[in-house]
Amino acid sequence: MSVLNKKTVEDIEVAGKKVLVRCDFNVKMENGVITSDKRVVAALPTIEYLINKGAKVILCSHLGRPKGEFDPEFSMAPVAECLSKYLGKEVKLAADVVGESAQALAASLNDGDVMLLENVRFEKGETKNDEELSKKFAALAEVYVNDAFGSAHRAHSSTAGVAAFLPSACGFLIQKELEVMGKALENPVRPLVAILGGAKVSDKIGVIENLIDKCDTLIVGGGMSYTFFRALGYSVGISLCEEDKIELASSLMAKAKIRGINLMIPIDNKLGKEFDANTESIIVDSDSIPDGWMGLDIGSKTQELFANAIEGAGTIIWNGPMGVSEWENFAGGTIAVATAVANATDKGAVSIIGGGDSAAAVKKLGFEKKMTHISTGGGASLEFLEGKELPGIACINDK
C-alpha cells in the first residue's frame, strides 16, 4: 500500500459538519494532574484547522488502561481543561463515551464548538473493535478523522472500526508521520543509515528485516548486539543474550554481506559487574568480554566509529538506545549517537527518531528542535518501520 495516498483533513468538506477526531491524549499524569501536555499540543493544528473551517468538533482518546468501565482516575477531565486553555474556548466534556450525555452534547454543538468524549476505554468493546460500538461512535458524527498515530497500530473501535461507517481522513499529525517516515522508507535521500538499539533482537527482527532491504548502513547497538557477538563466536559474559536468536543474527549478517550493506556492531563495550547504576565498570573489546561481566553500553572506540558512519548520512532512522541510557554512567553511547545525528541534521540530513527511549534521550540533551522528525508513536512507528499495515491508517479513505 502507498501510505502517502491517504485523504487528509484538507481533502474533505468539514464546514458545518460534526467531525469525530481520534486524538492521542494518553498524557502523563500524576495525582490527577497532567505532567506533560506534549500530546495535547501535538493535536492542536488539526483541531484548530477544523474550528477555523466551522466544523463541530468531537474529540476522543484513550487514557491509561481502565478495564472497560468508568474509573475516575482515568477521566479525560484534566485533558478537557488543558485543551480549553490552549484553544481559548470551553471544551465540554461528555459524562460518557457514546451514551446519552455524549449524544446530547454532540447534537447541541454549533459551528466551531469543541467537545470531548470520556475515555474510550471505559467501553468494554473499544479494544475488541466491537462493531456495535463502532456504529455508536459513527452515529455521533458525519466525518471521521484519525490523528492518533500512537494508536494507529491497534485495531480498536475508535481507531479503525468507526471508519467503516463514515467518510474518513487523517489529521496533520498522522500526515506528517506518513510523509516523513514513508519517504524515508520508499524514497530516501542516500545514504540511508539505520541505527537500532534496545534490549532484544526479538523486538526488532521485523524492523531489521525490512530495513536490510532499504538501507546502506545498519548500525546495531544496545543489549541486542550481544546476540550478534555470540553469532560470531564471542563470549558475552553475563550480558543479555537471546540464545534462540543467535542463528537469526548470523543469517542477518550473512544477508547484509550478500546485499553489500554495511552492518556495524560495537567493537568495544562498557561493562558492569552487575545490573546497577553505580556498579564498577571497565571498557573492553567485543571479542574479550570476561566471565562475570555484563555489557551495559558501547565503548568509546565504537562511539567514534558509529559517529563517523552517521556523519555522512542523507537519511537517518534511529530507534533504541545504545546502552542503559537512563543511568549516567552508561548513557555515553546514546549521547554520542544523539550528538552525531544532530550534527548530521545540521549538515542537511533527514533525521527520524522513532519514539520511546531514543526520543527521551534527544529531548534530555536539548536536540529536539534539531531533528527533522520525532515520531509520536512508539509501537506504531516500530510496526511502520517493519513495513506492516497499520489498521488505523489502512482504514482511512484513499485520495
Q: Which domains are assigned to the chain?
A: 3-174 (3.40.50.1260), 188-385 (3.40.50.1260)
**What letter represents residue 29's amino acid?**
M
> What pLDDT, on the 0 to 100 scale, is given for residue 209?
87
Parallel, antiparallel or unpaired: strands 281-285 and 192-196: unpaired
Question: Which one is catalytic: 200, 255, 301, 364?
Answer: 200
Q: pLDDT-based confidence at 3, cuts 50/70/90?
A: low
200 annotated active-site: yes
Return mean pLDDT, the chain: 93
> What pLDDT, on the 0 to 100 scale, is given for residue 65?
92
Q: For 153-169, b where at least 16 C-beta lie within 10 A, e where not — what string?
A: bbbbbbbbbbbebbbbb
- Cα gap 159→177, rounded to integer Å: 16
Strand segments, DSSP code E, in 249-349 are: 262-264, 268-272, 281-285, 294-298, 315-319
39 annotated active-site: yes
User: Among 116-120, 223-227, 259-263, 362-366, where is mean pLDDT lowest?
Assistant: 362-366
Q: What are phi and psi of 16, to 5 degrees?
A: 70, 5
356 annotated active-site: yes
Parallel, antiparallel or unpaired: strands 33-36 and 28-30: antiparallel
154-172 pLDDT tens trace: 999 999 999 999 999 999 9
> What pLDDT, on the 0 to 100 scale, is given for residue 386?
81
Other CB atoms within a 10 A radius of the CB of residue 15 amount to 11
399 burial (CB, 10 Å; 0-12 / 13-18 / 19+) is: exposed
Q: For 88-220, where are the alpha helices, taking DSSP H only?
A: 100-107, 131-139, 172-186, 201-211
Question: Which one is catalytic: 39, 56, 154, 270?
Answer: 39
> What pLDDT, on the 0 to 100 scale, is given for residue 307?
97
- Cα gap 146→174, rounded to integer Å: 8
Specify whether the CB–CB gap between 322 and 357 falls below 8 A.
no
Give how far Cα 177 sits from Cα of 6, 47, 148, 341, 394, Å: 12, 17, 10, 19, 14
292-351 pLDDT tens trace: 999 999 999 999 999 999 999 999 999 999 999 989 999 999 999 999 999 999 999 999
> Which 3 state secondary structure label does DSSP give 166?
coil
Question: Which one is catalytic: 54, 68, 99, 379?
Answer: 379
Q: pLDDT-based confidence at 177, cuts 50/70/90?
A: confident
C-alpha cell at 146: 484519525
190 annotated active-site: no
- Cα gap 164→153, rounded to integer Å: 17
Question: Which one is catalytic: 333, 356, 377, 392?
Answer: 356
> Which 3 state secondary structure label does DSSP give 326?
coil
The verdict on whether omega for the bond into residue 191 sits within 30 degrees of 0, i.e. cis, is yes
**What letter represents residue 232's amino acid?**
L
Residue among 327, 201, 315 nearest 265 (CA)? 201
Q: What is the pTM of this model?
A: 0.82
Sheet holding 18-22, edge to edge: 91-93, 114-116, 56-60, 18-22, 143-146, 168-170
Mean pLDDT across 31-41: 90
> What pLDDT, on the 0 to 100 scale, is given for residue 1?
39
